[in-house]
Amino acid sequence: MYDRMLNKQEEPTFEDLINHCSKMGGLWLELDEQLVKEFAVGKLIRFPYGKEYGWGVKYSRKSKHICDIICDKLKP
Task: Round to whole Å and give the CA distance between 13 and 23.
Answer: 18
Q: Residue 56 to residues 41, 50, 70: CA-CA distances in angstroms?
A: 15, 10, 4
Q: Which helix (H) or strand (E) holds 49?
A: none
Helices (H), the chain: 2-5, 14-20, 23-39
State the virtual CA torsion across 57, 62, 66, 67 in degrees, nearest 10.
20
pTM recorded for the entire structure: 0.83
Q: Give yes or no for a contact between 22 and 74, defined as CB atoms under 8 angstroms apart.
A: yes
Q: What is the pLDDT of residues 19-52, one digit of tens each?
A: 888 888 999 999 999 999 999 999 999 998 888 8
